[in-house]
Copies of this chain bind each other. A is one copy, B any other.
């Protein structure tokens, strides 16, 4: 049972805003057992939207649309859908009640624009939006269903979870996807593919495998589709066997399972072992701490971090001795070690991570090209520093450094067990 996702908006089409809605929607509906066949982005243009809707409902029985529902003049989806179904707009009393509740709850007067949000095509069924002023609209079509919802990310997420998926589940019977993510670090995609070729060729045909390289890490994803409970447990055991047989080939590169990112694994391991962490960052500019705090619950293990972008901060806040900075420079092994030790002491943490390097595009020095990065881990067992030579642009260099350090940390923490 496949779906097409259509995201409407000039800002998405022209790339001013990255289309994260498509990713979030796809994950949510795939998790619920629906397939995703295609996602499309079109601008705020009636002909383009109409063509996309028309093609999509021919292609898949479920068409999910976001965007173009705001009250401003460039938002035209609602009018177009009314026209498409030969219907007309009317003020829906349930939708009006919601809009009124939200606007007055904010202590604001209802404007004409707010009121317009409650107008919907007569032929649609309103799926009430509890968290925003634009209603979600469900249209029955001879070929399937077309569902239109606002593009505001948290409203879309709330609607998909609480309204769209439950209503789809009543209408269509679906299976589910059994999946396993294997996070691999320390080997590139090509080399990994060579290394595990025999394993891949021997996989049962029910299993799909995908390589997802992300900033120096490869996520290997095994998936299988199941339509019944007994099929689900069969697919689960096929996947378990495949995971077990991968271990002898690639075990030393495997950092973890069942996570999308290394920071999820760091959360899980440190929380489970009641260990605390601090970070001292130079070239990664706060990315270590930002990625960890982007997930809820970081305060359980994260003491905090220092971003020491200047030598002054390295010296004052992290107690990196001035003569180390003078003799060896900011991008050096003694500096990164002193940073890790300094922040661990200051924050009174079990583990500390540190980075100092040249992320570019400027800042290269004689013998220290862009991509020269020192990383270190400090704990009561001692300090380990590593020198990385990374290629690419600023952001990939930062992301790879952080991924490498998270993988190093996970290996350190596990060696305790």
Chain A interfacial positions (CB closer than 8 Å to B): 10-20, 22-27, 30, 36-44, 48, 52, 55, 70-74, 111-114, 133, 152-154, 189-191, 193-194, 200, 208-214, 219, 221, 260, 278-279, 284-290, 292-294, 296-299, 302-310, 312-313, 316-317, 346-348, 360-363, 392-396, 398
In the complex, A297 Cα to B359 Cα: how many Å?
Answer: 11
Residues of B within 8 A of A312 (CB): 303, 347-348
The answer on a CB contact under 8 Å between B37 and A48 is: yes
Q: How far is the CB of A20 from chain B (nearest CB, A)?
A: 5
The answer on a CB contact under 8 Å between A210 and B38 is: no
The answer on a CB contact under 8 Å between B304 and A317 is: yes
Q: How far is the CB of A365 from chain B (nearest CB, A)?
A: 13
Closest chain B residue to A177, Cβ basis: B14
Residues of B within 8 A of A303 (CB): 309-310, 312-313
Other A-B contacts than A18-B19, A36-B43, 11 sampled, CB-CB below 8 A, are A13-B38, A16-B260, A18-B20, A71-B189, A71-B193, A111-B190, A154-B396, A287-B290, A297-B362, A305-B306, A310-B347
Q: How far is the CB of A17 from chain B (nearest CB, A)?
A: 6
Most chain B beta-carbon neighbours within 10 Å: one of A13, A14, A193, A298: A14
Q: How far is the CB of A72 from chain B (nearest CB, A)?
A: 5
Closest chain B residue to A306, Cβ basis: B306
In the complex, A406 Cα to B22 Cα: how many Å?
Answer: 28
In the complex, A278 Cα to B369 Cα: how many Å?
Answer: 27
Q: Given A11-B212, A17-B212, A304-B307, verify A73-B193 contact (CB < 8 Å).
A: yes
In the complex, A15 Cα to B7 Cα: how many Å?
Answer: 14
In the complex, A36 Cα to B19 Cα: how many Å?
Answer: 15
Q: How far is the CB of A398 from chain B (nearest CB, A)?
A: 8
The answer on a CB contact under 8 Å between B13 and A393 is: no
In the complex, A312 Cα to B344 Cα: how many Å?
Answer: 12
Q: How far is the CB of A64 from chain B (nearest CB, A)?
A: 12
Q: How far is the CB of A161 from chain B (nearest CB, A)?
A: 12
The answer on a CB contact under 8 Å between B26 and A15 is: yes
In the complex, A395 Cα to B219 Cα: how many Å?
Answer: 24
Q: Given A190-B71, A306-B306, verify A316-B18 contact (CB < 8 Å).
A: no
The answer on a CB contact under 8 Å between A306 and B296 is: no
Closest chain B residue to A38, Cβ basis: B42
The answer on a CB contact under 8 Å between B13 and A363 is: no
Q: How far is the CB of A259 from chain B (nearest CB, A)?
A: 11
Residues of B within 8 A of A15 (CB): 22-27, 30, 36
Residues of B within 8 A of A346 (CB): 313, 316-317
Residues of B within 8 A of A208 (CB): 10
Q: Given A25-B15, A26-B15, verify A154-B393 contact (CB < 8 Å).
A: yes
Q: How far is the CB of A313 from chain B (nearest CB, A)?
A: 4
In the complex, A37 Cα to B306 Cα: how many Å?
Answer: 45
Residues of B within 8 A of A41 (CB): 22, 38-40
